[in-house]
Chain A
Amino acid sequence: DQQVKQNSPSLSVQEGRISILNCDYTNSMFDYFLWYKKYPAEGPTFLISISSIKDKNEDGRFTVFLNKSAKHLSLHIVPSQPGDSAVYFCAASPKTSYDKVIFGPGTSLSVIP
């Protein structure tokens, strides 16, 4: 039972263009949403988050959008850089237990110079 879904296993984008990574969730109890980034042979690192009371959160080149009615969120990276090439995990936590993070399967992003 996959509660957090990332239906695109991989994505290729030209340097300088926008990267859009999508994520869907099924559990209506999820209240806090996160994106983690993972380079090979390293652990995931936190990138950006959004609370369910917001629909957008921006941090530099990274913006996360949340559509609660559709149970959908997306991560936009503008402009994309070769150093952004990594696996991106979408994750979510329920209000009752914010430290219970449920991860999606990840999307591998390749930014082509």
Chain B
Amino acid sequence: EAGVAQSPRYKIIEKRQSVAFWCNPISGHATLYWYQQILGQGPKLLIQFQNNGVVDDSQLPKDRFSAERLKGVDSTLKIQPAKLEDSAVYLCASSLATGGWHEQYFGPGTRLTVT
């Protein structure tokens, strides 16, 4: 079974530029998550999708971050404009469903450096 795929793996941009990350979840997984992991901290949930609908985006900085999962499969996370404090690893995860506990499977992440 293929795992969660993410691209790019690394990205370096200057502040005020825009950037986009892509995620392809495990086939058949209805729930998709984007996490931000700042150095020295644990992953923090940014947004959760159930199929192509948003379940929770309460911690997404909506003035600069946006995410979509148009066909209920792949997802993109965008930052525009980027700030220095956005430097982090952005992790995508997927699980079979929501409601009850389902293991979340993580991709390798995209390491973003904002200079």
Instruction: Determine if A100 is an interface residue (Cβ-Cβ < 8 Å).
Output: yes
Instruction: Determine if B48 is an interface residue (Cβ-Cβ < 8 Å).
Output: yes
A4–B103 CA distance with the chains assembled, in angstroms: 19
Contact of B48 among A42, A44, A89, A99 (CB under 8 A): A99
Instruction: Determine if B82 is an interface residue (Cβ-Cβ < 8 Å).
Output: no
Known contacts A43-B4, A43-B93, A43-B109; A101 and B104 CB within 8 A of each other: yes
Q: How many residues of B contact A (CB 8 A)?
A: 26
* B residues less than 8 Å from A42 (CB atoms): 108
Contact across chains for B4 and A99 when beta carbons are under 8 A apart = no
* A residues less than 8 Å from B48 (CB atoms): 99
Known contacts A89-B42, A100-B45, A103-B42; A44 and B100 CB within 8 A of each other: no
Contact across chains for A99 and B95 when beta carbons are under 8 A apart = yes
Q: Which residue of A lies closest to B102 (CB)?
A: A99
Contact across chains for A106 and B42 when beta carbons are under 8 A apart = yes
Tier of interface size on chain A: 20 to 34
* A residues less than 8 Å from B41 (CB atoms): 105-106
* A residues less than 8 Å from B91 (CB atoms): 43-44
A100–B101 CA distance with the chains assembled, in angstroms: 9
CB distance from B88 to the nearest CB of A (A): 13
20 pairs, A vs B, C-beta closer than 8 Å: A4-B42, A9-B40, A43-B93, A43-B106, A43-B108, A44-B91, A45-B105, A46-B105, A89-B42, A93-B101, A98-B100, A98-B101, A99-B31, A99-B95, A99-B98, A100-B45, A100-B56, A104-B42, A105-B41, A106-B42
B: residues with CB less than 8 A from A are 4, 31, 33, 40-45, 48, 56, 91, 93, 95, 98-109
A: residues with CB less than 8 A from B are 4, 9, 32, 41-46, 49, 89, 91, 93, 98-101, 103-106
